[in-house]
């Protein structure tokens, strides 16, 4: 998309919003896929990856969202169980697209709000942010040591998985090369008989 057409579409959308607001109509928000590393510049890449690991751990449906049941399980495992209404309130507080689920981007909004001091300490989201972040003052050096050792072990398991995938790919490539060489040898031998 050229810069002119992009600008035109942005201005056109702004005009549609203004017209709808003037007529008293409800304006539907549209969301674009964004790069969380650029949108959440206040977090380091490592922090975002850690949040992604936490999110993925509780996204048992592997659909890229935390629904009500998954959020319930997450809060129970973190030791801060919530009521059904409390869970719905937690989702509603960060659910920008109003789909009743928390996407990873919306999950990061929890930590953005926590850093900005916009969450009440005793609210569900405040507890979630506090319980999933490591605080050396609270757990001490040994607690932090155990936390990071567990993270390293998890990373090593992930690396083993990637190593296995790489080995499988190398094995497939080697087998393909051997097949090509055998075919060329066969064609050379077959050429003798022609």
In a shared domain, residues 95 and 19? no
At residue 36's C-alpha, the angle toward residues 32 and 39, to 5°, is 80
Q: pTM for the complete prediction?
A: 0.50
Q: Does 26 share its domain with 43?
A: no
User: Which structural domain, as residue segments, surrounds residue 181?
Assistant: 141-192
Q: Please, what's the b/e burial string for 103-117 (b: 16 or more CB within 10 A of its CB; e: otherwise)?
A: bbbbbbbbbbbbeee
Q: CA neighbours within 13 Å on the CB side: how many for 123? A: 17
User: What CATH number is attached to the domain comprising 45?
Assistant: 1.10.238.10
φ, ψ (nearest 5 deg) of residue 96: -70, -35
Last residue of some domain: 132, 153, 176?
132
Q: What is the pLDDT along the chain (194 residues), one digit of tens a residue?
A: 567 777 787 788 888 888 888 888 877 766 555 677 777 778 788 888 888 888 898 898 888 888 888 988 888 887 777 888 888 888 888 888 788 888 888 888 888 887 777 766 666 776 676 666 654 444 455 555 666 666 666 666 556 666 777 788 899 999 999 999 999 999 999 888 87
Instruction: Indicate if 25 and 91 belong to the same structural domain.
Output: no
Do 116 and 90 sit in the same domain of this protein? Answer: yes
Counted domains in the chain: 3
Are residues 181 and 100 part of one domain?
no
């Amino acid at each position: 998309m050229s810069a002119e057409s992009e600008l035109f579409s942005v201005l056109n959308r702004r005009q549609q919003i203004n017209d709808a607001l003037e007529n008293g109509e409800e304006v539907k928000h549209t969301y674009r896929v964004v790069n969380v590393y650029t949108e959440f510049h206040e977090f380091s890449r490592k922090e975002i990856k850690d949040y992604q690991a936490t999110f993925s751990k509780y996204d048992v449906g592997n659909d890229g969202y935390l629904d009500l049941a998954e959020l319930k399980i997450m809060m129970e495992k973190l030791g801060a169980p919530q009521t059904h209404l409390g869970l719905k309130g937690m989702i509603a507080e960060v659910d920008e697209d109003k789909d009743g689920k928390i996407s990873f981007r919306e999950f990061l909004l929890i930590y953005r709000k926590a850093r900005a001091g916009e969450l009440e300490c005793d609210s569900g989201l405040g507890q979630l942010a506090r319980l999933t972040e490591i605080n050396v003052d609270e757990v001490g050096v040994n607690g932090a040591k155990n936390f990071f050792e567990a993270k390293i072990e998890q990373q090593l398991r992930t690396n083993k998985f990637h190593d296995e995938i790489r080995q499988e790919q190398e094995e497939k490539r080697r087998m393909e090369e051997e097949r090509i060489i055998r075919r060329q040898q066969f064609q050379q031998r077959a050429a003798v008989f022609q």
